[in-house]
Amino acid sequence: MYSRKEFLGLSAVLAGGVGCAGFPELGNQDTTRDHGTQPDLAVVNGRVYTVDDGLPQAEAFAVKNGRFTAVGSSDDIRNMVGTNTEVIDAEGMTITPGFIDTHCHPTGVNELYGVNTNLTTVAEIQAAIRAKVQETPPGYWVNGFMFDDTKVVDGPLHRTHLDVVAPEHPVNVAHRGGHTNWYNSKAFELAGISRDTPDPEDGRFQRDAEGNLSGMVAENARQVFNSVGRRDTLTDEQQRDRAREGMAHISTLLTAAGLTTVHDAGANRSKLVAYQDAYAAGLLRHRAYIMVRGPYEELRNAGVSSGFGDEWVRIGGVKYTADGSASERTMRMSTPFEGRPDDYGILTMSQEEIHEVVEDAHRHNWQIGIHANGDVTIDMVLNAYERVLERWPRPDPRHRIEHCTLVNAALIQRIKNTGTIPTPFWTYVHFHGEKWNNYGAEKL
């Protein structure tokens, strides 16, 4: 007997993110099967949604070598069963093809080795950090993940809250949105950042009401912390093993949620290796469409372009980030944030920089995905896409705007005209809907 979660995970892997369209509907036919053709899996007594207009719903299906081979009634599929076929009675549960997440950042390493700070009080966050500090040598980083400042009922989280539990360890608490982090005083000390340090153009060191560092650092201002403090002293082999283990772990979590194909929105060299290692070891349960960051030039120079790979691990586009986040209130807009008349958000790329990278990738037959949340940034990205499509036309380049949050009628028309693909976060309303109060009623 399978639990709903176990059944979903198993059938998701076998479904592989495709519908049943194009596979035979069973009826009055010989269903005798030898060992070479009998299915590996038969699922019966379900409510199967096929995504096939010719047979939109069925009771059962058969799978062999990870592919649907037939859909039909439970009796039809039972007639195909052989001695080596696993049979699952779905007990009336709904079954759909696997889901596709078009923008995700899966590694699994944080889930295995970091501190989960998806918590709702400062005391809970302090307790989680304290537990990790107690097993970490002084001077080494303690890293939290999945933090959401708006979910902390007695916040805001402040640098001094982290100092209490980690006076000798640099602490980094990363927001789940990926564009802001909270650091303690030790981290600022090691990085040489004080209350008098000016903000870079593409980032921000937030100050509190007294003008002191609050602990929150936004966008590219965080780069100053990358080369300070001590980190786990792992050999190259140990780091590779950890990355493979993380990928295997997150792949299991993804497929248990019904996600069978995931677009990885920004992989570096080590993550590409992790995908290959997990795949080779038989530990990769989801199909990966990988948008690359750092390795782009090496791949381009080797003649690789979008589409290279197989059905399990495939190179997608090249990924760039041009502004901040909607959930963290840093995206670049044409009007200011509510109650912050001088704050229009943050650009992390100039128009010229966007033109340069788009031209290079487009002319080398790469798909391009650029993170752009605010209307100003979306306009800049469309400027670049329109320019290359006019100068160097390509059939169906499928360039993307990641998130594409704040749009207007004119931007929507330009998106349509260029064939650009917006990839919004469909879960934003659920997780971050209340944050739109920061944007003003006219933007809703």
User: How confident is the model over 11-48, as pLDDT tens digits?
Assistant: 444 444 445 555 455 443 444 445 568 999 999 999 99
Q: Do 63 and 117 share a domain, yes or no?
A: no
Backbone angles phi, psi at 130, to 5 degrees: -60, -40
Q: Do 86 and 213 share a domain, yes or no?
A: no
Q: Do 367 and 402 share a domain, yes or no?
A: yes
Residues near 29 by beta carbon (within 8 Å), at least 6 away in sequence:
none
Q: Quickly state the pLDDT bin for 438 (edges 50, 70, 90).
A: confident
Query: Does residue 271 sit in helix, strand or coil?
Result: helix
Tens digits of residue pLDDT in 348-397: 999 999 999 999 999 999 999 999 999 999 999 999 999 999 999 999 99
- Structural domain includes residue 321: yes
Tens digits of residue pLDDT in 290-341: 999 989 999 999 999 999 999 999 999 999 999 999 888 899 999 998 888 9
Q: Do 217 and 305 share a domain, yes or no?
A: no
Q: Do 247 and 210 share a domain, yes or no?
A: no
Tens digits of residue pLDDT in 120-130: 999 999 999 99
Q: Do 205 and 122 share a domain, yes or no?
A: yes
Query: Does residue 335 sit in helix, strand or coil?
Result: coil
For residue 11, what is the domain's CATH number? 2.30.40.10
Does residue 342 carry a pLDDT above 70? yes
Vertex 181 angle, CA 430 and 298, to 5°: 95
Six token digits for residue 85: 């076929």
Does residue 264 carry a pLDDT above 70? yes
Return the minimum-mean-pLDDT range out of 89-93, 115-119, 199-203, 435-439. 435-439
Based on the structure, what is the number of domains in the chain?
3
Q: Do 83 and 121 share a domain, yes or no?
A: no
Return the minimum-mean-pLDDT range out of 152-156, 231-235, 372-376. 231-235
Angle between helices 4-15 and 236-256 (to 10 degrees): 110
Return the minimum-mean-pLDDT range out of 85-94, 187-196, 339-348, 368-377. 339-348
Q: Quickly state the pLDDT bin for 54 (edges 50, 70, 90).
A: very high
For residue 133, what is the domain's CATH number? 3.10.310.70
Q: Do 352 and 216 share a domain, yes or no?
A: no
Q: Do 297 and 419 share a domain, yes or no?
A: yes
How high is the pLDDT of residue 24? 52
Euclidean distance between the first and final Cα of the chain, in Å? Answer: 47
Over residues 247-266, mean pLDDT: 96
Closest among 189, 139, 180 to 157, alpha carbons compared: 180
Q: How far apart are CA 113 and CA 249, in angstroms?
A: 12
Over residues 89-106, mean pLDDT: 95
Does residue 245 carry a pLDDT above 90? yes
Q: Quickly state the pLDDT bin for 177 (edges 50, 70, 90).
A: confident
Does residue 52 carry a pLDDT above 80? yes
Q: Do 114 and 65 share a domain, yes or no?
A: no
Q: Of 44, 68, 97, which closes a domain?
A: 97
What contacts 24+ positions apart, CB below 8 Å, involve 125-131? 125/152, 125/157, 125/161, 125/173, 126/161, 126/162, 126/164, 126/165, 127/165, 129/162, 129/165, 129/166, 129/171, 129/173, 130/165, 130/166
- Structural domain includes residue 292: yes
Structural domain containing residue 192: 109-225
- Average pLDDT over the chain, rounded to an integer: 91
Q: How far apart are CA 3 and CA 195, in angstroms?
A: 54
Closest among 315, 405, 311, 320 to 355, alpha carbons compared: 320
Does residue 270 carry a pLDDT above 80? yes
Over residues 389-410, mean pLDDT: 97
* Reported pTM: 0.85
- In 294-399, DSSP assigns E strands to 313-321, 367-372
Does residue 421 carry a pLDDT above 50? yes
For residue 358, what is the domain's CATH number? 3.20.20.140
How high is the pLDDT of residue 327? 84
- Structural domain includes residue 135: yes
Q: How many CB atoms lie within 10 A of CB 143?
A: 22
Q: Is residue 353 packed enough to be buried (19+ CB in 10 Å), middle (13-18) or exposed (0-12)? A: middle
- Structural domain includes residue 351: yes
Q: Do 258 and 315 share a domain, yes or no?
A: yes
Closest among 282, 225, 220 to 248, alpha carbons compared: 282
Q: Quickly state the pLDDT bin for 439 (edges 50, 70, 90).
A: confident
Sole residue written with tokens 């959930």: 327
How high is the pLDDT of residue 247? 96
Query: Does residue 337 sit in helix, strand or coil?
Result: strand
3-state secondary structure 91-114: CCCEECCCEEEEEECCCCHHHHHC
